[in-house]
Structure 1
Amino acid sequence: MTGRHPSLGTDSLLRYGLEDPRRLARFLLQGAERGLPEAQARLGQILLDGNGIQRDQALALRWFRIAAHHGHADAMNMVGRCLENGWGTAVDLAAAARAYAQAAQLGLDWGFYNYANLLAQGRGVPRDRAAALELYRQAARQGHAKSMNLVGRFYEEGWGVPVDMEEAARWYLSAAQAGDFRGQCSHAALLTRQGRVDEAVSWLRQAMRTATPGFLQKIAEALAVSDSEPLRALAAEINSRYARMQEPLPAMSSGKEGFSSLLSLCPAT
């Protein structure tokens, strides 16, 4: 599109949305009503987020479904997300799995990842860790950092594949370098086991930049009882940061855990 309207490209829409979210919402609505799947999918996303428009999860799902019907892979994935999480509809894990599978069939990395999560956990589909691992691998080959970490986790735990710590280490490093905070944590845990504490602290600091509050809580609890003074100091730093934000991390109720158990704190999803 030309003139004062943006194209539907990601960068163009991002700039436009930052400048005027309401105008972006109107623009996307016009495109969606004209039958443009990309506009329909993006309209669904801003409706889901309430960005520039009143939040309406049910209407978001409707637009995702319309775009998915037109073959839009991201929209198929978002239909799955809505069905999995109960956004605008009742939770339906079996239907979510079907939506993720459709997105995966079109080669979408997030479709591979989300479908693999359900297969790994046996939610909505029979548990099949071998199939889940292959889907994570396919997403990882596309550069999906979360999937890289989970491929490593499967080799670490021996889920659907023989235990192979060297292979796990390679995948954790790849995930860490790709910016996944769980991958950075996993890589740091292995470095600590090797006595490379300074390197581990460096990776944990990187993880702190993007980790969720709940995950940081787990990291702080584990580090606080470490035998390593630098790791204990990092735990205090994490707690201090949240105290300054007036959001202190609540105490964990599961007892003390050493840093060597951090990998077990990284869930499969």
Structure 2
Amino acid sequence: MSFQLRREEILSGEQLSAMLEESPARAAQAILLAAGEGEVEAQALLGQILLEGQGIARDQPLALRWFGIAAGRGHLMARNMLGRCLEHGWGCRADASVAAQHYRIAADAGMDWAMYNLANLLATGRGVVVDHLQALALYRRAAERGHAKSMNLLGRYLEEGQACPADPVMAREWYRRAAKGGDFRGQFSYAAVLAGEGRIDEAVAWLEKALAGGNLNFLRVASQTLSSATDPRIQVLASRYQLRTDELSRSA
């Protein structure tokens, strides 16, 4: 079945995003039409669905092209995604240095995801010189804008006293906010703090949330960390983490 939309039926970016949830194939046709008519939000969305193969054939090089078009017109998330493609080699040769340039443009314009992605490169020295002070500042800026993953990493810097004085009280608070914000690593971090305070039941509840949302790389590390737990309630969870890790590994 094909879907034909007239020019007057072009939808807004918000409408197109909602349509993706209901009918990816129909949404893809609408996004193609709107992108071709110059709607910048649709151009960014087209890059995303091409990257993921959502309702349309997966095509990373074409996704990269559409991200570039939207980024050139000032779309910040498209600029961030252009950086992601370059960082990971999606549709192009990986180049973390050029990715950092795109992240910086979007970060300077206020895009929290770009702040987070640029901070990750600065913290690990991929494509840029290691700079923990700048990474910390970016994580803090993004966290203050409500970015949950940045909240967790800000908490880690504060807990470890890296590039700043150690502040376990504020580290705990940022872990709590990250956990509440839905970041599975933040949930695990906050659970660790709660367990250290002897609040095991609360810790287990957050560990269960992290288990439900965590990806394979996270679960591999988390299951090893939990394997040394002495509390029987956490030992049970450690087994579940390992089982989930094995399941994801087989399907990878």
Q: Confirm or deny a common fold (TM above 0.5).
A: yes
Residue 6 (structure 1) aligned to one of 2, 11, 15:
11
Matched, 1:193 2:196: yes
Cα displacement (A) at 1:102: 0.7
Matched, 1:99 2:102: yes
Matched, 1:47 2:50: yes
Matched, 1:37 2:43: no
Shift of the 186–60 alpha-carbon distance from structure 1 to 2, 3 Å rule, reads same
Shift of the 48–228 alpha-carbon distance from structure 1 to 2, 3 Å rule, reads same
Contact kept, 8 Å, 2:148 with 2:181, in 1: the verdict is yes
Q: Counterparts of 1:90 and 1:249 in 2: how far apart (Å)? A: 27
Cα displacement (A) at 1:208: 1.4
Cα displacement (A) at 1:7: 2.4
Q: Counterparts of 1:33 and 1:104 in 2: how far apart (Å)? A: 28
Higher relative contact order (CA 8 A, sep 6+): 1
Q: Counterparts of 2:219 and 2:212 in 1: how far apart (Å)? A: 10
Once the two structures are superposed, residues 158-211 of structure 1 have per-residue CA deviations (whole angstroms, 9 ceiling, x without a partner) of 221111211211111111111111111111111222222222111111211211
Q: Counterparts of 1:196 and 1:184 in 2: how far apart (Å)? A: 14
Give 1:200's aligned amino acid: A
Give 1:42's aligned amino acid: L
Q: Counterparts of 1:170 and 1:184 in 2: how far apart (Å)? A: 12
Residue 173 of structure 1 corresponds to: 176
Q: Counterparts of 1:134 and 1:37 in 2: how far apart (Å)? A: 30
Residue 15 of structure 1 corresponds to: 18
Residue 120 (structure 2) aligned to one of 73, 94, 117:
117
Matched, 1:133 2:114: no
Q: How does 1:149-228 map to 2 (within 5 A)?
A: 149-228=152-231
Contact kept, 8 Å, 1:188 with 1:199, in 2: the verdict is yes
Cα displacement (A) at 1:249: 6.3
Give 1:64's aligned amino acid: F
Give 2:31's aligned amino acid: L
Residue 256 of structure 1 corresponds to: none
Residue 108 (structure 1) aligned to one of 100, 103, 111:
111
Residue 263 of structure 1 corresponds to: none
Give 2:18's aligned amino acid: R
SS at match of 1:81: helix
Matched, 1:26 2:26: no
Shift of the 3–248 alpha-carbon distance from structure 1 to 2, 3 Å rule, reads closer
Contact kept, 8 Å, 1:158 with 1:164, in 2: the verdict is yes
Contact kept, 8 Å, 2:219 with 2:245, in 1: the verdict is no
Shift of the 21–124 alpha-carbon distance from structure 1 to 2, 3 Å rule, reads same
Residue 3 of structure 2 corresponds to: none
| Structural RMSD (CA) | 2.0
TM-score normalised to the size of structure 2? 0.90
Shift of the 239–167 alpha-carbon distance from structure 1 to 2, 3 Å rule, reads same
Give 2:95's aligned amino acid: D
Residues paired across the two proteins, number: 245
Shift of the 116–46 alpha-carbon distance from structure 1 to 2, 3 Å rule, reads same
Give 2:231's aligned amino acid: S
Gap regions ≥5 residues in structure 1: 251-269
Residue 59 of structure 1 corresponds to: 62
Once the two structures are superposed, residues 190-243 of structure 1 have per-residue CA deviations (whole angstroms, 9 ceiling, x without a partner) of 122222222211111121121113322332232222111111111123345567
Residue 255 of structure 1 corresponds to: none
Contact kept, 8 Å, 1:185 with 1:203, in 2: the verdict is yes
TM-score normalised to the size of structure 1? 0.85
